[in-house]
Amino acid sequence: MNEEQKSLLLNSSSCFSPPQGVKLSYGTAGFRADASLLPSTVYRVGILAALRSLKTGSVIGVMITASHNKVSDNGVKIADPNGGMLSQHWEPFADALANAPSPQHLLLLINEFVAKEGILMDGVSQAEVLLGRDTRPSGSALLEAARQGVTSIVGAVVKDMGILTTPQLHWMVRARNKGIKASEQDYFEQLSSSLRCLEDLIPTEKSKFDELIDKVVVDGSNGVGGVKLKGLGRLLNALVIEVRNSSEDGGVLNDGVGADYVQKEKLVPHGFGSEDAGMRCASLDGDADRLVYFIVQPESSGRIDLVDGDKILSLFALFIREQLSFLNENEGLKNCYPCRLGVVQTAYANGASTNYLKQLGLEVNFTPTGVKYLHEKAAEFDIGIYFEANGHGTVLFSESLIEWLEARTKEISSGSKASEAEKAALRLLAVSKLINQAVGDALSGLLLVEVILQHMGWSIHRWNELYHDLPSRQLKVKVADRNAVITANAETVVVSPPGLQEAINAETGKYPQGRCFVRPSGTEDVVRVYAEASTQEAAGTLANSVTKLVDQFLGLNSS
Site for Mg ion in 288-317 (CB under 5 A): 289
Picked from Mg ion, ligand 16G, none, the partner binding residue 523 (CB below 5 to 8 A depending on kind) is: ligand 16G
For 496, phi then psi, to 5°, come to -150, 140
Compare residues 228 and 280 and give the one whose CB is closer to ligand 16G.
228
* Count of alpha carbons within 13 angstroms of residue 244, beta-carbon side: 16
Consult the annotation and say whether 50 binds a ligand: no
CB of 285 to Mg ion, least distance (A): 4
β-sheet with 156-163: strand ranges across? 31-34, 73-79, 59-64, 127-133, 156-163
Instruction: Name the 3-class secondary structure at 160.
Output: strand
Consult the annotation and say whether 283 binds a ligand: no
- Catalytic residue, chosen from 12, 40, 67, 314, is 67
Binds Mg ion (CB under 5 A): choice among 80, 184, 219, 287: 287
CB of 293 to ligand 16G, least distance (A): 18
Catalytic-residue membership of 472 = no
CA-wise closest residue to 166 among 371, 428, 387: 371
Which of 36-44, 216-224, 282-290, 526-534 is the region at the interface with Mg ion (rule: CB under 5 A)?
282-290
Site string for Mg ion, 142-171 (x = CB under 5 A): ------------------------------
Site for Mg ion in 105-134 (CB under 5 A): none
15 to 40, 44, 181: CA distances (angstroms): 8, 12, 36
- 145: which residues sit within 8 A by CB, 6+ positions away? 16, 38, 39, 40, 42, 43, 46
Task: Find how far residue 389's CA is from the centre of its chain.
Answer: 11
CB of 356 to ligand 16G, least distance (A): 21
Consult the annotation and say whether 388 binds a ligand: yes
Compare residues 75 and 155 and give the one whose CB is closer to Mg ion.
75
Cβ distance 402 to 46 under 8 Å?
no
Query: How many residues interact with Mg ion (rule CB under 5 A)?
Result: 4
Binds Mg ion (CB under 5 A): choice among 134, 219, 285, 388: 285
Cβ distance 29 to 67 under 8 Å?
yes
Consult the annotation and say whether 175 binds a ligand: no
Compare residues 290 and 408 and give the one whose CB is closer to ligand 16G.
290
525 to 27, 482, 556: CA distances (angstroms): 11, 7, 12
Instruction: Check binding of 73 to Mg ion (CB under 5 A).
Output: no
Consult the annotation and say whether 473 binds a ligand: no
**CB nearest Mg ion: which residue?**
67
Picked from ligand 16G, Mg ion, none, the partner binding residue 285 (CB below 5 to 8 A depending on kind) is: Mg ion
Buried b (16+ CB within 10 A) or exposed e, 198-231: bbebbeeeeeeeeeebeebbbbbbbbbbbbbbbe
Site for Mg ion in 40-59 (CB under 5 A): none
Compare residues 28 and 492 and give the one whose CB is closer to ligand 16G.
28
Consult the annotation and say whether 285 binds a ligand: yes
Compare residues 86 and 268 and give the one whose CB is closer to ligand 16G.
86
Instruction: Name the 3-class secondary structure at 470.
Output: coil
CB of 245 to Mg ion, least distance (A): 15
CB of 523 to ligand 16G, least distance (A): 4
Picked from ligand 16G, Mg ion, none, the partner binding residue 524 (CB below 5 to 8 A depending on kind) is: ligand 16G
DSSP class of 35: G
Element (H, E) at 215: strand 215-223
Picked from ligand 16G, Mg ion, none, the partner binding residue 287 (CB below 5 to 8 A depending on kind) is: Mg ion
Picked from Mg ion, ligand 16G, none, the partner binding residue 390 (CB below 5 to 8 A depending on kind) is: ligand 16G
Compare residues 280 and 528 and give the one whose CB is closer to ligand 16G.
528
CB of 173 to Mg ion, least distance (A): 17
Consult the annotation and say whether 519 binds a ligand: yes
Consult the annotation and say whether 522 binds a ligand: yes
Consult the annotation and say whether 528 binds a ligand: yes
DSSP result, 37-102:
G-HHHHHHHHHHHHHHHHHHTSEEEEEE--TTS-TTEEEEEEE-TTSSBPPGGGHHHHHHHHH--S
DSSP result, 8-30:
HHHHHHTT-PPPTT-----BBTB
CB of 42 to ligand 16G, least distance (A): 17
Q: List residues binding ligand 16G (CB under 6 A).
A: 28-29, 67, 369-372, 388, 390, 392, 521-524, 528
β-sheet with 304-307: strand ranges across? 240-246, 215-223, 281-284, 291-296, 304-307
The residues that bridge with 365 in the sheet, in sequence order, are 344
CA-wise closest residue to 348 among 224, 453, 433, 473: 473
For 266, phi then psi, to 5°, come to 55, 45
Picked from ligand 16G, Mg ion, none, the partner binding residue 419 (CB below 5 to 8 A depending on kind) is: none
DSSP result, 247-262:
GGG-PPTTSS-SHHHH
Residue 324, judged by CB atoms within 10 A of its CB (0-12, 13-18, 19+), counts as: middle
Consult the annotation and say whether 523 binds a ligand: yes
Residues serving a catalytic function are: 67
Binding-site residues for substrate, in ranges, read 388-390, 519-523, 528
Binding-site residues, in ranges, read 67, 285, 287, 289, 388-390, 519-523, 528
Binding-site residues for Mg(2+), in ranges, read 67, 285, 287, 289
Binding site for Mg ion (CB under 5 A): 67, 285, 287, 289
